[in-house]
Every structure is written in structure tokens, then in C-alpha cells.
Amino acid sequence: MSKTIRFHLEGMTCASCVARAERVLRAQDGVESASVNLAAETADVAFHDPATPDAMASALSKAGYPARQSTVTLAVEGMTCAACTGRVERVLKAQAGVASATANLATRQAQVVLWGDADPATLAAAVTRAGYQASLLAETPATDPHGEERRLWRQTALAAALAAPVFVAEMGGHAFPAFHHWLHMTIGLPLLWQVEFVLASLTLLLPGRRFFVKGLPALARLSPDMNSLVAVGTLAAWAYSSVVTFLPSLIPEPSRAVYFEAASVIVALILLGRSLEARARGRAGAAIARLVGLQPKTARRVDGTEVAVALLVPGDLILIRPGERLPTDGEVTMGQSTVDESMLTGEPLPVAKGPGSTVTGGTVNGTGAMTVRVSAVGAHTVLARITAMVAEAQGGKLPVQALVDRVTLWFVPVVMGLALLTTLLWLAFGPGMAEALVAGVAVLIIACPCAMGLATPVSILVGTGRAAELGVLFRRGEALQRLSEVTGVAFDKTGTLTEGHPRVVAMLPDDAGLLAMAAGVEAQSEHPLAGAILAEAAARGIPPAAIAGFQALPGRGAQGQIGGVTVQVGSARLFEQVPQALADFAATAQSKGQGVLFVGRAGRAEAAIAVADQPKAGAAPAVQALAALDLPATMITGDAEATARAIAADLGIADVRAGILPEGKAQAVAALGGKVAFVGDGINDAPALAAAEVGLAMGTGTDVAIEAGEVVLMRGDPMGVVDAIGLSRAVMRNIRQNLIWAFGYNAALIPVAAGALVPFGGPQLSPMLAAGAMALSSVFVLSNALRLKRWRR
């Protein structure tokens, strides 16, 4: 069957590009026609098997015309186990133009990567035809986030109310013979069973209906899921009991027993489990909900009019009142205030803002009013990018998930086969039909593919959400697993371990007048250390002296005139006379990797100022914490050996690789051996960030570094590295616990449900107990994952 697809191409510059791209496409086996449009930069292709969009896109990329991908997120309702996610993924991957598809049971979403102009509505329709209600997430009508949870609780309450009389009539009679005798004498057994039939039928038809409308069609398509197990199990118990009630002659007398209570209680217990799951899911996915909720819906322009945030454009001026949440990113043009940026960095202390300061949407203004010029809107804001990063990481699959997916693909059919085999064996070798029914239904009900399907994604969901709260953003979910396995951490120095800008650390003599003269000269200088002198003078409240006749002296410093006297600031070469005390001070400072500027008049140095890029407050504790985790720290920097070793000695780093050029940092990381994480912040760190086992980028660094990193530390604090590694290890430990439970639960209890203990004098498991165990299995996995919300360093 012929299919069509439209690719959006890059690199198209002339008509020869069109011809070449068309030749490349037509050379693919199965391509019927290819038409490339230079103006639109598109390629329309008609094809049939064996041609595939992936193969065509790969050929175009090799030819120099890579096809752009787009991503669509679908909201998918009705997924209840790992078999469902596998089916949704298979349906989506079968659609033309789909490069990849990932369904996430924890978030109930499917992320689809498209090569061409595939219609998202078509994708949603295909998923809906497969038995799941799907819609574009962006077009999903606003609904109560707790609506499904409330519906489940209502259905649970109804199921419990209908099942309770049946349960009391049957199990109460067994527990209290007098009560059993009273029921038989008062109502009579036939009428009692008929009442139970009505109540059980209502339980299955009303609150239990969801299992049948989803499970039976899936079974008919030969793609059974967990709903199919519940539907077949409860229907078998109900049907057998109905025959005993209304056509007893068809059943041998020793086997005439009803199991209406089993069918009813199974529905009630499984609905209870799903209600608890829904509550836990809501808590697990709260991180993104909180991030989205930080975005105000309206903004106030400087003329006082309110406007929807979606209508703002870069350059608009908006007014931010005290206590308001900023609606979008921008730059302060007027006013002074402090801003709570804890949502961005995790740092509780407010940050001072004034004209020229950048502000971020979602943060909270303090006590002052500000006018802000909008710099970014919509998907380009920091908050939107953070939300997208968290969502992408939460939707990712770890390598371990591939094994789980392969197992769960066959799990439900195998369980149904085991249930049938169990029933046949009990019919052949057991005491009667009733016992065979109990064993078969118990096997169907106790099996829990949900726990296996949730084991990995829910831990990622909670873990990445908790990381975001700590200011650590995992851009890819698989980075969690690789970061948990690193054997060492390499750091860039400037801006990563240090503040990234020099400041005055000592002055001899500490003279305000000389500092004012130095600030006056440096105010007109472009020297890298000029900012440190000016910042020190400003911090002390010392105004720079008025300088006339400024003159830069390359390689030596700068000078100017004050009252006809020449004031000089620079290296020792600028001065004819440097007192021995100042020379000794300079030698000591330089041995520590500090820079030194001399200040003097008329060729004689009168003061020396030591300037250094100081280590960040969290740098030394981070190195110590990593050592406690058995992770050695290495410094890889382009700085001079003396400067690098001086900083490293202060921080407790023994392994220093200094004088490394940007292109050599990646090789330096590789030379360390093992699985090494690299932490950096600058453009020159991008190659090393990309080459490392995991790249961690400081959120205070350049956009290039942030794009190259798989983990972003929003606070720019080296202790964020410790948080990221510690949390990644906790997440992987949590996943292992969940998988051990999920697989161990099924491996241990399915044989028990089948009656494997009966020949040895053990009990035969009741379907009601099986339902309770199954419901609690998923709740255990979710509850275990939720412990990550409380993770602390």
C-alpha cells in the first residue's frame, strides 16, 4: 500500500540541491516519487515497503540535507499496565512519519517524534482505535486534575456497598455457623443466592464495567491486558455461580457452590488499589504541575492595562508590583527590589534586582515595584525550558526498561495460559469443578503486570521531580542511570569551582586614599582586573578619584593625572622603585596563584593589591562529599599550573591537569579512564561535557555549555554535583527495589494461587485474597517511589 510523507529539510540552497535530494530519495528501494521544494525546503515522498521514513531520513542526512524532527505529546487515558504502554507504542510506530514513540504509564502520556508532517489528530485517532482515549496534550480540555481519582473513589465506594452484603452473607456464614443457620432458615438458600446474584451483577455492571469495556475488546484483538485478566476472572466466577443458582442440575452436587462474593470483592479491592494508585500518581507527578502553576496567566503593562501573558512580545514593558509573581523573563529597566528565585535555584535567600538585572518568569517579587522589559515569552522562557527538560527526563526510558518491556509484552498471555492450565489440572486431578474454578480465577487475579510497568517510570518521575526542587535538572532520563555509575568527577576551574570573576583579597598598606586613586585609573581601563578594584572600592563606599589624561600602557598597566601628579596602576615593570615589603607581599600572593597590581605615584610603588578568583563556598564541601562517596575529584583547566594548584590545594583536590586547551579537555577526560562525569560552565567546556560519561553544566554558565550538558545545576553550586549523584543513586536503588518486588511478587504468588502448596498441606488461595494482594502490589511500588520525594543529601 502506498504512503506519503513530507520531510522538512535543512541545507537547501539552490536548484542543484533539489536535484540531488530528489536523486537520493528516488534511489531508495520502495520510493515511488519524490518532489523537493526549494522555497519551502520540503520533500514530498510517495513510497511503499520496504522503504521507511527512517531510512529515507538517514539517506538525506548523509547527503547533507538532514530532515528536521518534531515532537508531539499525546494524553492517553486507559493505560493500566505495561502491556498497554507496549501496545500504544506499537500502534504509534506503525503510523507513517513516526520516528519513535514512547508511552509512559506513570504520566499517562505518549511522546511521539515525527519525521514529517504527520497529523497529530491522526496519531490520536489510531491510539483511540486501539482501545485508549487519546488527544493532543496541547488541545486537551482543561479538566480537574483530581477528577479521575474522585471517580475511582466513588466507584470503589459503590462497589464496596454492593459487595459488603454478599461478603457478609457468604463469609460471615462460614465464620459464624449460627448466623449461617439463621440465614438459611429465614431466607432460604435459593433466595439468598438469587439476592447475591443481583448484587454481584450490579457490581460488575456498574463500578466493574470499566474492566469489561477495556479488557474484553483487548482480548478479542488478541492483545490482552490487566483489564482482561480481571474481566475473565470475575466473569468466570460470576458465570459459574449463576449456573449453580439457576441451572443447578448442570453442576455435580459436590461442586454446587457460589462465588458471587469473590466476583464482587475482587472488583471492590482492585478499584481500591487503583484509587490509591491515582492518589500516588498525582503526588508523583506534582513536580511538573507545580512548575506549570508558577506561570501567571496575566501581566500588567506600564499603562495599567492587564493582558494575557500569551499576548506579550519581547520588548513590551510590564509593571511588577510588590509580592507579585513575574509573568515572564525580562530585564529590569526601573525600580529596585529583591526577588525570591528559590523555584529556579533552590536557594531561599532573595536576590537584589535593579536596572539592568535579569529576572525570570515564575519568580516572586519582594517589597519593591519594578518595570521590566520582556525578553522571552512562551516556550523560550527559562520556566518553560525547565518544564520541558523535566518532562523530557520524566518521559525517558532507562536501559533496564528494555528488559521489562520484553517481559511484560508476553506476561498477560502467559498468565492466561497458566490459568487455563491450572484449571485443567485441577479438573483432572482435583476434587471438583469448584476448586478448579477457584484456582484458575486466583491465578488470573493475582498476576500484576502493573507493578512491573510502573517500577521504572514512577521512580524516574518522582526522582527527577525531586531533583528539580533541588535545582538539578536532568535533561535526559537515562542520565540518571549513567550518573549513578560514575567512578570519578572532573571539574573545570573558572566559574565552576571558583566564582568566575576576580576580587580583591588583600592590600598593603590598606589605605583608602590609594584605593580611591587605583579605582579612578581603573574606571577608564579595560584591564581584566579593573572590575575587582572598582568592586572593592564600591563595597567600602570609596568613590573613585577624578582622573585626567588617562593613558593605557599595554603590558604594564595604566596611568592618569591627579592634581598634576602622575598616578600609576599596573605591574612592577611600570615602576622605577618597588619597596622590598611590597615585593615580598607580591611574591607571596603570586605563589598562591593570585594576581598583583601595584599603585603608586611618579614611578614609585606605594601599595600592592592582591586579586584572585575565589573558590565558591560550596566547592571544598563538594570535594569532601565526593570523596566520602568514593569519587575522586580532578581539576581540568586552561589556567597556569601555579594558579590551578593553589586553588586545588585549598579545595583538597590532588589531581590537577593545568594548561589544557579547550579541544584538549575531552582528551583529558578520556585519559582519566573509567566512567567520569565532567562539570563545566563555559563554551570551552562544551567538548568535554559532550565527551564525558555524563556532562553536568552550571546553570549560571553559557547557553552552549548548558546545551552540551545532560544535567543542569541551576544554582551554579558545586554541591549540586553531590545532590545529582546522590539522587541518581537513590533513584536507581529505588528502581531495583521496585523490580525485585514486582518480579518476586509474581514469581512467588502465581504458583501459590495455582495451588502449588495444596499437595503439601498448604492452603488454596482465595480469589479475594489474590485481588487484595494484586491491588497492594502496585500501591507498594508507587509508595516506595514516593519515598524519593523526601530524599535529602
Q: Which pLDDT tens digit goes with each residue over 451-510? A: 777 788 888 888 888 888 888 888 877 888 999 999 999 999 888 898 888 889 999 999
Q: Amino acid letter at 4? A: T
- The answer to whether residue 351 scores a pLDDT higher than 50 is yes
- Whether the per-residue pLDDT at 224 is higher than 90: the answer is no
Q: What is the pLDDT of residue 116?
A: 65
Once rounded to an integer, what is the mean pLDDT over residues 582-604? Answer: 89
pLDDT attached to residue 349? 72
Q: What is the pLDDT of residue 142?
A: 37
Q: Which of 566, 655, 645 is nearest to 606 (CA)?
A: 566
Q: Is 109 left (phi over 0), alpha (psi -120 to 50) or beta?
A: beta
Task: For residue 608, give the nearest of 625, 626, 595, 592 by alpha carbon.
Answer: 595
- Greater confidence, 167 or 729? 729
HEC states along 496-518? CCECCCCEEEEEECCCHHHHHHH
Share of the chain above pLDDT 70, in %: 90
Q: How many Cα neighbours within 13 Å face the side chain of 416?
A: 18
User: Mean pLDDT, to the nearest integer, of 205-216?
Assistant: 90
| Alpha carbons 292 and 362: distance in angstroms, whole number | 9
Q: How far apart, in whole angstroms, are the C-alpha atoms of residue 567 and residue 548?
A: 10
Beta strands in 41-171 (DSSP E): 42-47, 70-77, 98-104, 109-114, 133-136
Residue-wise pLDDT tens digits, 406-428: 776 688 888 899 999 999 999 99
pLDDT on residue 140: 39
Any idea what the Cα angle at residue 84 is, between residues 81 and 85, rounded to 5°? Answer: 95
Q: Return the top range by mean pLDDT from 64-73, 405-414, 754-763.
A: 754-763
Identity at 154, one-letter amino acid code? R
Pairwise CA distance, residues 549 & 568, whole Å: 12
- Cell, residue 70: 518534531
Distance of CA 150 to the CA centre of its chain: 27
Given the residues 492, 681, 717, 723, the one annotated as active site = 492
**Whole-number average pLDDT of the chain:** 84
Judged against a pLDDT cut of 90, whether residue 277 lies above it is answered with no
For the question of residue 492 being annotated catalytic, the response is yes
pLDDT, position 347: 63
pLDDT at 373: 95
Sign of CA dihedral 764, 770, 773, 778: positive
Pairing of strands 364-365, 306-308: unpaired
- Sorted by sequence, the CB contacts under 8 Å of residue 85 that are 6+ apart come out as 79, 103, 104, 105, 405, 453
Q: What phi and psi, each to the nearest 5 degrees, are found at residue 302?
A: -65, -20
Q: Give the chain's length.
A: 793
pLDDT at 139: 41
For residue 544, what pLDDT band results from cuts at 50, 70 and 90?
Answer: very high
Evaluate if residue 141 carries a pLDDT over 60.
Answer: no
d(CA 722, CA 719): 5
Is the model more confident about 703 or about 552? 552
Mean pLDDT (whole number) for 142-149: 59
> How many other CB atoms sit within 10 Å of the CB of residue 313?
8
Give the least confident one: 236-240, 308-312, 412-416.
308-312
Q: What is the pTM of this model?
A: 0.75
Looking at residue 285, its pLDDT comes to 61
Determine how many CB atoms are found less than 10 A away from the CB of residue 350.
Answer: 17
In a 3-state reduction of DSSP, which class is residue 317? strand
Structure confidence at residue 40 as a pLDDT band (50, 70, 90): low
Write out pLDDT tens, residues 612-648: 888 998 999 999 999 999 999 999 988 878 888 888 9
Q: Would you state the cell numbers that stand for residue 729, as one nine-digit string?
A: 543513586
pLDDT at 294: 73
DSSP secondary structure letter of residue 379: G
What pLDDT is stored for residue 346 in this prediction? 60
Cβ 50 vs Cβ 11: under 8 Å: no
Residue 15 pLDDT exceeds 80: no
Tell me which of 312 and 91 has the higher pLDDT.
91
Band (143; pLDDT cuts 50, 70, 90): very low
Rounded Cα–Cα distance for residues 288 and 518 (Å): 51
Is residue 28 within 8 A of residue 51, CB to CB? The reply is yes
Q: Which residue has the higher pLDDT, 61 or 380?
A: 61
| Each residue's pLDDT tens digit, 183-210 | 777 888 889 899 999 999 999 999 999 8
- In the block, residue with C-alpha cell 523537493: 36
